[in-house]
Amino acid sequence: QVRPVQSGAEVKRPGASVKVSCKASGINFNDYYIHWMRQAPGQGLEWMGYIRPNSGGTNLEQKFRGRVTMTRDTSSSTVFMELSRLGSDDTAVYFCARDGYNLGRPFFDYWGQGTLVTVSS
Amino acid sequence: DIQMTQSPSSVSAVVGDRVTITCRASQDISSWLAWYQQKPGKAPNLLMYTASSLQSGVPSRFSGSGSGTDFTLTISSLQPEDFATYFCQQAHSPPYTFGQGTKVEIK
């Protein structure tokens, strides 16, 4: 199936960090913005920020600045999202998604399958 | 931040029904709005973008309308595979916020 492929579920202790990967599979990543969202159990979607793989430029939602790092490996068409100083309220499914229209306003046409991050002591 | 408010939060319907979901933005977002469908345990799926443009591969029973602050997603004749949760998302300015979702349930 043509979609980004994300890394597997993680269980982390409070205060730890987690790094989630998102690899292009059958779709072009390098010419598009790749965004990250998360969804806490039973909740709606929360936008976290984006990375432009061809330049490495990022834009993060203010509440995540200082705690989230987004990077990329162009050779493998993979982007990464690292979240540090985890707390229980970071327990969520994390999604990467491509902004497929490059209109300067994002509409997400391809989504990864999601990565469940559980923070528990 | 732009707040997105959907109504209703849930709707019960039968196959063949016409279903309408509303999304209201806390400020003018022009036509910078998307609609997504999400099924349990799955990623969202883009249905509509720029408020009224149908994403490739999405059935024509889905349609979107509105501009400014008030938007509507309509399913003209509900099919069994349409029972899911629907979200709106504003693409006007960051942070790109989503509505809280509308669950379409079997009546």
Residue A111: list chain B partners with CB under 8 A: 43-45
Q: What is the pLDDT of residue A3?
A: 86
Residue A1: predicted pLDDT: 62
Residues in chain A whose Cβ is within 8 Å of chain B: 3, 35, 44-47, 59, 61-62, 95, 97, 100-101, 103, 105-109, 111-114
Comparing C-alpha atoms, which of B40, B41, B44 is closest to residue B89? B44
pLDDT of residue A65: 96
pLDDT in tens, A92-109: 999 999 999 888 899 999
Do residues A89 and A14 lie in contact, with contact meaning Cβ atoms separated by under 8 Å? no
Rounded mean pLDDT of chain A? Answer: 94
Nearest-neighbour CA in chain B from A110: distance (Å): 8
User: Which of A120, A54, A95, A3 has its CA nearest to residue B87?
Assistant: A95
Which tens digits make up the pLDDT trace of B13-31? 999 999 999 999 999 999 9
Nearest to A63 by CA among B63, B55, B22, B1: B1
Mean pLDDT of A46-70: 96
Confidence of residue A44 (pLDDT cuts 50, 70, 90): very high
Check the CA dihedral A4-A43-A35-B63 and report its sign.
positive
Q: Which residues contact A6 (CB under 8 A, 6 or more apart)?
A: A20, A21, A22, A23, A94, A95, A96, A112, A113, A114, A115
pLDDT band at A31 (very low <50, low <70, confident <90, very high): confident
For chain A, what percent of residues have pLDDT higher than 90? Answer: 82
